[in-house]
Amino acid sequence: MVVGDVTTGTDVLIIGAGPGGYVAAIRAGQLDLDVTLVEKDIYGGTCLNHGCIPSKALISATDVAYDAGQAEHMGITADPAVDLEGMVDWKDEVVGQLTGGVERLCKANGVNLMKGRAEFTGENAVRVAHDGEGQGSETIEFEHAVIATGSRPMELPGLEFDGENVIDSRTALALDSVPAELVVVGAGYIGMELSSVFAKLGSEVTVVEALDGALPAYEDDIARVVTDRAEEVGVDFHFGESAREWVESGDGLTLRTENEAGDVSEFGAEKVLVAVGREPVTDTLSLDALGLEPDREGFLATDEYARTDLEHVFAVGDVAGEPMLAHKGMKEGEVAAEVIAGEPAALDSRAIPAAVFTDPEIGTVGLTEAEAEAEGFEPVTGEMPMRASGRALTLDETDGFVRIVADEPSGFVLGAQVVAPEASETIAELAFAVEMGATVEDIGATIHTHPTLGESVMEAAENAREKAIHTLNR
Ligand code: FAD
Ligand code: NAD
């Protein structure tokens, strides 16, 4: 069917069906708004198709094989063979189930789904170009718009992505064979999650990072635990090295880096994975036609209602700025839809949790001790080392700790840092504590199931009050 230049109307137009956009669409549908969701690619966005879900699937599958091969001390001898193509096929099945689910949920909630690339043509209109020859375009007039176009990987000059030698995380998550040698540029979220995956799969992995340590957004003692473990599984770190360019060499390539003193180093590789951050996708939307100007980095400023400088235009997810995390985008999507429907909604979370799916995982929420001090609190911390946790011992994963930061006079939980197995799950209880205004006494008084990793949260809370039972008190 050829779609000509027809014009249709909708109350709420949402551009981008990632976690920000599809949640906004479903919530708007639930609130009986007339909503149209435009997506140029596959439903689910970066998170479901090329980010959160595929990376976590590969991390889990790799650990099944790796852990089985490392369990001789538990009386298990195995030498699992990994077929990366098979692993990637399984990962794609997981992704397919979720993206199909997003489409079904949107339809079930009355969302009009439209495939195509949207671009603003006026204050209340977009043109949606349909892919494929003769497919044409159509104009949609809207009352409200929600921009949820997400982000893309940043390119380094001299290291542009070519899908073969220099790759981004999306390509890395879809490789059909394990590179013999992989250089990863950047020891941030992606670099730290994926370098261990490839090292466990058998690649010789080198990580080059411009700063003097991994995961600069996290405290040193947290980053240290996961860096040490990554080294144990074979990752070779080079800190203080900025990637500059690559050249072909023999049957592979050479990456050149430079340190602060200007010394150049070279690293041989089959492929280079560049993971140096992500940038918002706002430059393809013709925002000037709408009358909206992004900031210098391309982000759209929003208020607590997820509203941009324009009364009728909202921005959610990665385009609305840091932290660029799926759950932050989802909450913004929900709020935008409710505000449009006239509900009394606002973004009023006290803290947004974050998790890094390294080995062991990291989970954080709220303030660190230093941040609490800087904000004028009198912080007290409580810790529980994982080596003292019965459950961690039975899992054979005893690296790390749970740390709770509380305000000493009132006992209110201000934040927490967890580096431990399943920290991404454990942090949910602590996020709830911060959100509810719970005290360390509340957490300590809550009976936690034995033997679980969750008990470590209770012990850390009790440690802050000098009454932990299973670890020495301060
Ligand atoms: P996106 O998910 O990027 O979706 C935007 C959508 O908009 C896309 O589908 C795109 O095709 C569409 N679009 C863009 N322009 C147009 C247009 N003009 N017309 C129509 N459609 C358009 N976050 C976590 O919280 N936890 C994790 O474990 C995690 N792991 C990650 C792992 C990796 C490797 C990566 C890359 C990211 C990860 N993230 C994780 C971050 C997470 O993926 C993003 O924060 C999240 O996807 C942002 O959601 P969004 O809706 O803003 O945008
Ligand atoms: P990042 O910002 O986490 O880390 C980038 C790293 O690259 C930094 O440590 C930086 O110092 C380094 N760097 C920059 N330029 C360099 C150069 N020339 N040479 C060497 N090192 C250099 O970025 P990312 O890992 O690409 O991840 C992007 C975003 O995706 C994250 O900020 C996060 O929002 C999201 N993400 C989240 C998760 C999760 O929630 N578990 C997982 C993956 C990605």
Full pLDDT tens readout for the chain, 474 residues: 444 567 899 999 999 999 999 999 999 999 999 999 999 999 999 999 999 999 999 999 999 999 999 999 999 999 999 999 999 999 999 999 999 999 999 999 999 999 999 999 999 999 999 987 677 899 999 999 999 999 999 999 999 999 999 999 999 999 999 999 999 999 999 999 999 999 999 999 999 999 999 999 999 999 999 999 999 999 999 999 999 999 999 889 999 999 999 999 999 999 999 999 999 999 999 999 999 999 999 999 999 999 999 999 999 999 999 999 999 999 999 999 999 999 999 998 889 999 999 999 999 999 999 999 999 999 999 999 999 999 999 999 999 999 999 999 999 999 999 999 999 999 999 999 999 999 999 999 999 999 999 999 999 999 999 999 999 997
pLDDT at residue 1 in the model: 44
Tell me the two tokens of residue 303: 């208020």
Q: Ligand 2: residues whose CB is within 6 Å?
A: 156, 185-191, 193, 208-211, 216, 242-243, 275-278, 323-325, 355-357
Protein residue with its CA nearest to atom 14 in ligand 1: 149
Please, are residues 45 and 21 in contact by the beta-carbon 8 Å criterion? yes
Q: Rounded to an integer, what distance in angstroms lies between the CA atom of residue 196 and that of residue 206?
A: 10
Whole-number pLDDT of residue 350: 84
Pick the CATH number of 351-464 from 3.30.390.30, 1.10.3720.10, 2.40.340.10, 3.30.260.10: 3.30.390.30
Q: How far apart are CA 172 and CA 193, in angstroms?
A: 12
Compute the distance between CA of residue 381 and CA of residue 98 in angstroms, rounded to an integer: 39
Classify burial at 250, counting beta carbons within 10 Å of its beta carbon; exposed 0-12, middle 13-18, buried 19 or more.
exposed
Q: Which residue, by CA, sits nearest to atom 23 of ligand 1?
A: 325
In ligand 2, the atom with minimum distance to the C-alpha of 424 is 41
CB-defined site of ligand 1, < 6 Å: 15-21, 38-41, 45-47, 51-52, 55, 117-118, 148-151, 169, 190, 281, 284-285, 317-318, 324-327, 329, 357
CA distances in angstroms from 184 to 61, 188, 272, listed in the order given: 21, 10, 6
pTM above 0.75, yes or no: yes
Among 27, 47, 147, 330, residue to substitute to test ligand 1 (most atoms within 8 Å of Cβ): 47
CB burial of residue 6 (10 Å; 0-12, 13-18, 19+): exposed
Residue-level pLDDT at 121? 97
CA 188 to ligand 2 centroid distance, Å: 4
Ranges of beta strands (E only) in 310-374 are 313-315, 354-356, 361-366
**Where in the chain are all domains bearing CATH 3.50.50.60?**
3-152+280-347, 166-276
In the chain, residues under CATH classification 3.30.390.30 are 351-464
Residue 238 among the catalytic residues = no
3-152+280-347 classified as CATH 3.50.50.60: yes
> How many whole angstroms separate alpha carbon 116 and alpha carbon 39?
6
Question: Burial of 434 by CB count in 10 Å (0-12 exposed, 13-18 middle, 19+ buried)?
Answer: buried
Q: pLDDT at position 472, please?
A: 93
Among 3.40.50.10310, 1.10.3080.10, 2.30.30.360, 3.50.50.60, what is the CATH number of 166-276?
3.50.50.60
E strands, 236-319, are: 236-239, 242-249, 252-258, 264-269, 271-274, 278-280, 313-315
